[in-house]
Amino acid sequence: MKLPTGFHALVLGCLLVFAAVGAFQQPQRKTGTIIIQPKSSARAVGAGPLLATKKQGAAEQKKTWQEKLDDALWDFIYGAREKQWNPDRRPEGERGAFDRTASTLSWGRWPLELEGAEGAMAAAAQAEAEYNGGAAQEEEGEEESPYAAPAFLTESPDKNDPLRRVLDEQAKIMADLQQVPTAKHLRRFASGRELAELCFAKYGQYHDLSVYYSDPFGKDQRQVAFNVYGSMLGARNFPMTEFQYLAKLDYVVEMLNAWDQAWYVKAFLLEPPIARRGLPSHPKWDTAVTLRLNKSPTWKYLDLERIKEFIAKDN
């Protein structure tokens, strides 16, 4: 067998070194960059139920050499960037294995008579009430839609009428806006906890959720997306406590409600997971599931100042 020389030997040596390092270090595996999130310390600082356990610590020691090599290579290639953009926000004493027994989330423990989305929303409301020391209250009723079309716009005028084009355009606008549900529980998120529970109902994990924006075509055509990342609450290297995770989701909910796009995201989370546009059905460590808010039928009618308001907070 011919031994590698020169550059190949150097690369092989580096891999072996990082494999050895990976045996003692656990990389912070995180997908995507958190672009929009609260700056306020009140939203980002808090104690969560992260407690080290000997059992899970022992499981880390049982990794195969292939897994340790994979961790080391990932840390070498992506680690520096991830640590820069997504530093571990947990207090030093809470950076360890996750203790579900101290969690305030449901982890799928929904009422037996309810399943899926209904169970998730009921569990979120119940958990929120218990966490705040009160009784669960169901949000019932409907909101009067501000997009209801006047009767004259739905009439079909004579095709030779000069106002026909204007009325047709107005009718198209009203058809888009009327897709917004009027039921309160479908139109808005009650809290970040409800968003988390719906994520669990769809994917079986409390994934990292964020709103991502970019300006490839200029600020007047800003692209905004709701992203579901592969990293998840409960993973040893997840960089947030449960308290911090829910605080972040509260901020995401604040944005979606302010933009009147909560219904669009909620409808997406109530759908079964399916692969679309080259993206996986479930988020993976290197690929997020993305819902483009720009594709919402009502996004084009949103006041740009509402979007800029939150982006200005982030910058």
Task: Taking the CA atoms of 245, 297, 143 and 137 in sequence, report the sign of the dihedral they define.
Answer: negative
Residue 102 has pLDDT above 80, yes or no: yes
Alpha helices in 53-183 (DSSP H): 54-61, 65-74, 80-85, 116-131, 151-154, 164-177
What's phi and psi for 50, nearest 5 deg? -100, 110
Vertex 132: Cα angle to 237 and 256 (nearest 5)? 65
Residue 116 has pLDDT above 50, yes or no: yes
Q: Which of 214, 188, 184, 210 is nearest to 199 (CA)?
A: 210
| Helices and strands (H, E) in the chain, number of each type | 13, 3
Q: 18: part of which helix (H) or strand (E)?
A: helix 6-22
Q: What is the pTM of this model?
A: 0.62
Per-residue model confidence (pLDDT) at position 203: 93
- State the Rg of the chain over Cα: 24
What's phi and psi for 129, nearest 5 deg? -65, -45
CA–CA dist 4, 6 (Å, integer): 7
> What residue spans define the domains of the chain?
22-103+183-315, 146-179
What's domain 22-103+183-315's architecture?
Answer: 2-Layer Sandwich (3.30)
Q: What is the pLDDT of residues 218-229, one digit of tens each?
A: 666 678 999 999
Q: What is the pLDDT of residues 229-280, one digit of tens each?
A: 999 998 888 889 999 999 999 999 999 999 999 999 999 998 999 888 778 8
Q: At what angle do helices 6-22 and 65-74 cross, to 10 degrees?
A: 110
Of the listed ranges 119-123, 246-250, 291-295, the one predicted with least confidence:
119-123
